Amino acid sequence: ANSGSEANEKVFKIVRQIPHKRYGGKKHKILYRERDYHGGTIGTMSAGGQSERVAQYEPLAPGFVPVPHCLEYRAQWDLSGEAYGERAAQAIEEVILREGPDTVGALCLEPITAGGGVILPPPGYWQRVQDICARHDILLHIDEVVCGIGRTGTWFGYEHYGLRPDFVTLAKGVASGYAAIGLTVTTEKVFDMFKDDAS
């Protein structure tokens, strides 16, 4: 793609396409986290957790649902450390259960929230989030546009947490700013969902 916004849009399109092939069109919602940023198109702004960036652009696209952030400094619960991380992950599951797991197709998150405050997730957060996604058959989309290509000390930010995402999106560092390029990467599992498509 030409940008991180477009790379993320491609994930959203894939997530919306899968339920038409497998779930009768129902498992189409995309969850996103407060304070995260995913781009400047209408679709990616619909998955943007920074209200100041979407002001004056509503109405946004339907089917995007926020989940609470995991920033301890702006604590939402009287907890800290691993207990806070587990509670923040539990809050995601509460949204999934409220919306209906059979309607939620993907969870879109930055591995480390960048523009929303450079927020390192608390201990225990990411493993619990991955377990929740697996339990409810929800695809995990990690937006590495800011954190990827060595910016956090590993090739990808998600590597710090032992994650196995279904989608990874990249841009910026891929060409060191010399070219407009973005990438949408997925797993063989997701790719295989389209192998029977005759159209």
Write out pLDDT tens, residues 78-130.
Answer: 999 999 999 999 999 999 999 999 999 999 999 999 988 899 999 999 999 99
- Provide mean pLDDT across the span 167-174: 94
The pLDDT-based confidence of 22 (bands split at 50, 70, 90) is confident
> Minimum mean pLDDT among 4-8, 23-27, 57-61, 195-199: which range?
195-199
**What secondary structure, in 3-state letters, does the chain show?**
CCCHHHHHHHHHHHHHHHHHHHCCCCCCEEEEECCCCCCCCHHHHHCCCCHHHHCCCCCCCCCEEEECCCCCCCCCCCCCHHHHHHHHHHHHHHHHHHHCHHHEEEEEECCCECCCCCECCCCCHHHHHHHHHHHCCCEEEEECCCCCCCCCCCCCHHHHHCCCCCEEEECHHHHCCCCCCCEEEECHHHHHCCCCCCC
Checking if the pLDDT of 186 tops 80, the result is yes
**pLDDT of 198 higher than 60:** no
Range with top average pLDDT, 54-58, 104-108, 194-198: 104-108
What integer is the mean pLDDT of 17-40?
94
Q: What is the average pLDDT across 134-160? A: 96
User: pTM for this one?
Assistant: 0.95
Of all residues in the chain, what percent carry a pLDDT higher than 90? 87
Q: What is the pLDDT of residue 79?
A: 95
What's the CA gap between 127 and 86, in Å, rounded?
Answer: 9
Arithmetic mean of pLDDT over the chain: 94
Cα–Cα distance, 39 to 4 (Å, whole number): 7
